[in-house]
Structure 1
Amino acid sequence: MSETTNTNTNTTASATTTEALRERALKLDAADQLADRRELFALDDGVYLDGNSLGALPAHVPARVQDVLTRQWGELRIRSWEESGWWTAPERVGDRIAPLVGAAAGQIVVGDSTSVNVFKAVVAAARIAGEGRDEILVDATTFPTDGYIAASAARLTGHRIVPVAPADVPAALGPRTAVVLLNQVDYRSGRLHDLPGLTAAVHAAGAVAVWDLCHSAGALPVGLDEHGVDLAVGCTYKYLNGGPGSPAYLYVAERHQAAFDSPLPGWNSHADPFGMTPDYAPADGSARGRVGTPDIVSMLTLEAALDAWDGVEVDAVRAKSLALTDFFLECVEAYVPAGRVTSVTPAAHAERGSQVALRCDDAESVMRRLIERGVVGDLRRPDVLRFGFTPLYVGFADAERAARVLAEVLAETAGA
């Protein structure tokens, strides 16, 4: 889809337009079935639109973490590995994430970083694909780390990296393709890629599909099991609100678990981890994706944060996400001076994640001024303003206010 340029011919919106949009925002918030979730989070009077980088803190989490520190660690100490369930946390928390990405229990293990899990997944996928296939296709628009990790995995396994735009993947597939690593949502533009269609194309070519869900999990339905995804990875500190540096997760479809050969076979993934034997024998199931001792404090912080999802349907989250981003784009169109921003986020719902990216001259200065006025988004150099919409705590009044403040900043900087 081509980029959409703001065509508002007025330098400022009329008072009537502003009042009408504010009234609509209030009505939409009043009808929002997820509105009560906002009070579960520690938020100030500003507008927080950076949940696609770091989700807001669920208000109950500090007390839960205090218990981990003072009782579980401080009093029970080593006994907590069994009595507090520390040892089983990677699989238990994985099962909490599973319904949010459309997976049955027993297929997700939590631990390590996204980068480490990408490495595990790509190398294991290449081994699953077998001999005679020597190409790894990687999303040419991917977050840089995925590309770095895939290139390293290719060097280690004797494969060749083939960068390709997601839309061009079907044409690039062939008998030499072993693995395809793709992002479901582009981190710059918010473009949603066709996970079902691309996964089917990869399978038709006899290859293995690995998906990065960092910008989709917790924002939209993923359907890992439904669409036959082979392996997937994702972070938990964005829409899942797990906290800075919270552990990532690895999904291995049940049908691949027996053949999953991790390139990082640590003692935690051993079938008998306390046997301390010199030879490695992998554990069954998702535990095979573990490596070393899990980061328990961060793991249990994430587990507590996931309580905010209890009773929430991902379909309802997706419906609100699309309504929020639609409304924000409408407000930008109404408020922002003509020609000052260009949306690089697709207008079509089928192609949109849960963020809006606006190309803007002097974007760094504009974002700094927005943050000073309480509207927190982020920047992707050189010229993209990113606004992430987390439906659990962002409302329609937030969207209207953010667009209005953006217009004020741009009007003040015109010709500066």
Structure 2
Amino acid sequence: MTSNTELSPPTSKQLDASDQLAAYRERFVEPKDGSVIAYLDGNSLGRPLRVTAASLATFIQGDWGTGLIRSWDEKWMDEPTVVGDRLGDVVLGAAPGQTFIGDSTSVLLYKLLRAGLEGQPGRNQLVIDRDNFPTDRFIVEGIAAERDAEIVWIDPDPTAGVTPADVAAAVGPHTAVVLLSHVAYRSGSLADAPAITRLVKDAGGLMMWDLSHSVGSVPLELDAWGVDLAVGCTYKYLNGGPGAPALAYINSSLVSRLRQPIWGWMGASDPFEMSANFEPAANVRRFITGTPPILAMQPLKDMTELIADVGMAAIREKSIALTEHAIALAEELLVPLGVEIASPREPSQRGSHVSVNHPLFADVTARLWEQGVIPDFRPPHGLRIGLSPLSTSFAEVQRGIEAIRDVLVSLQ
């Protein structure tokens, strides 16, 4: 016997009960005083892992406290590339010898973009979209001013993000490097990286991706896609901690050809030769400049191993379920109050955060933080609901969106 009655969507309780990754939430530090009711900002700063406290203590007592300066010779000199290779294998879809950890995202953006431009003789155009993160745009503008390069601006749909058609219209025989974000920081739109990369390569340009809002939440296949350059922060879905060093990827075909602009002793072929002239290392180490942030890499190592245990496919499946749940709740509770959903509705076109717009959201966000509900706000009127798959529950999403509704009603 069949019924024409539509099935109700699963509740938060049902979704949590069937969540295959639910047990992993216990591995993250949560306040014991009840000061956080719903943490919806994992796309800005991930929660710390419980094991990291012990890992740091062991590191301080052992490698640092006991090994002292000897640890540089024993392991630390290779740490940026060893950790980079592991991250490449687990998260980036990158073979060894192409990834390292070091510097901030901004510094790595500058290094790789400048190197890419200089490595494309006869081409002087840098392509970027106007909706990209401010640092990305500012770095492009600064390099263009330094090197007398031309900027080609893409004006994407604010919700859909940059499309292959947008890129096809922007690239040409003078394109040197195209820099785009894989997941847009405002809308959460997920770019079609394989298609866009092919378009750029066919035009003779280099494709550079900012992975800050996708690494650790969206499966990546940098080698298979033919990506040339990529950077990304490690304190969002990789839970590296505030100010954690960023990652850089340089395709193996470019490692020996590109020459990064900030020369430093750690990027030299023999750092301890103390030579009079700079001779870059033959491998990806040539992109390292100063002393690597060894201590700051340790939390990232813990999260990388957790992701390896879970698998990016399962993480992506949970991410989609969380964002679908958030959108369903927003449609039910927020849209009737005049809220606009500003993220793509199609899961395959969306990262792991959902943006909603309302003129009152600056005030709403401030009041939510006072209550222990923590999304974030991006001008002019966007509230972002960031959902970290391994540490966020479906009930937490519901608590957060109900609180958004309640505060919004109180202000109207």
Fold similarity call, TM over 0.5: yes
Instruction: Figure out how many residues of one structure are paired with residues of the other and give that number.
Output: 392
What does residue range 389-408 of structure 1 map to in structure 2 within 5 Å?
389-408=387-406
Residue matched to 2:4: none
Contact 1:40 1:308 in 2 (8 A): no
Structure 1 residue 53, shift from structure 2 partner: 0.7
Contact 2:239 2:299 in 1 (8 A): no
Q: 1:156 aligns with which of 146, 162, 180?
A: 146
Q: Whole-Å Cα distance in 2 between the matches of residues 69 and 381 of structure 1?
A: 41
Q: Is residue 72 of structure 2 the alignment partner of residue 81 of structure 1?
A: yes
Q: Specify every segment of 5 or more residues in structure 2 that has no aligned partner in the other structure, as ranges.
A: 1-7, 156-161
- What is the letter of the counterpart of residue 143 of structure 1? F
What does residue range 42-57 of structure 1 map to in structure 2 within 5 Å?
42-44=29-31, 45=34, 46-57=37-48
CA 1:330 to 1:67, structure 2 compared with 1: closer, same or farther past 3 Å?
same
CA deviation vs aligned residue, 1:143-195 (integer Å, no higher than 9, x gap): 11111111222233332122213332211111111111111111111111111
Residue matched to 2:15: 28
Residue matched to 1:13: none
Q: Whole-Å Cα distance in 1 between the matches of residues 148 and 134 of structure 2?
A: 21
Structure 1 residue 123, shift from structure 2 partner: 1.2
Q: Whole-Å Cα distance in 1 between the matches of residues 64 and 87 of structure 2?
A: 25
Q: Whole-Å Cα distance in 2 between the matches of residues 178 and 185 of structure 1?
A: 22
Q: Is residue 335 of structure 2 the alignment partner of residue 345 of structure 1?
A: no
Contact 1:242 1:306 in 2 (8 A): no
Q: Whole-Å Cα distance in 1 between the matches of residues 283 and 38 of structure 2?
A: 42
What does residue range 70-219 of structure 1 map to in structure 2 within 5 Å?
70-83=61-74, 85-98=75-88, 99-129=90-120, 131-165=121-155, 166-167=162-163, 168-219=166-217
Q: Whole-Å Cα distance in 1 between the matches of residues 22 and 258 of structure 2?
A: 42
Contact 2:330 2:341 in 1 (8 A): no
Structure 1 residue 267, shift from structure 2 partner: 0.9
Q: Whole-Å Cα distance in 2 between the matches of residues 401 and 121 of structure 1?
A: 42
Contact 2:42 2:236 in 1 (8 A): yes
Report the more deviating stretch, 295-304 or 183-192.
295-304
Higher relative contact order, chain-length normalized (CA < 8 Å, sep 6+): 1
SS of corresponding position for 2:180: strand
CA deviation vs aligned residue, 1:332-355 (integer Å, no higher than 9, x gap): 222236143111111012221110
Q: Is residue 27 of structure 2 the alignment partner of residue 40 of structure 1?
A: yes
Normalised to the residue count of structure 2, the TM-score between the two structures is: 0.91
Q: Whole-Å Cα distance in 1 between the matches of residues 101 and 394 of structure 2?
A: 33
Q: 1:241 aligns with which of 223, 239, 242?
A: 239
Normalised to the residue count of structure 1, the TM-score between the two structures is: 0.90
Contact 1:260 1:288 in 2 (8 A): no
Q: Specify every segment of 5 or more residues in structure 1 that has no aligned partner in the other structure, as ranges.
A: 1-19
Q: Whole-Å Cα distance in 2 between the matches of residues 123 and 158 of structure 1?
A: 12
- What is the letter of the counterpart of residue 40 of structure 1? R
- What is the letter of the counterpart of residue 140 of structure 2? A
Report the more deviating stretch, 208-217 or 150-159.
150-159
Q: Which runs of 4+ in 1 moved over 4 A?
A: none
SS of corresponding position for 1:180: strand
SS of corresponding position for 2:272: coil
Identity %: 41
- What is the letter of the counterpart of residue 148 of structure 2? G
SS of corresponding position for 1:87: helix
- What is the letter of the counterpart of residue 78 of structure 1? I
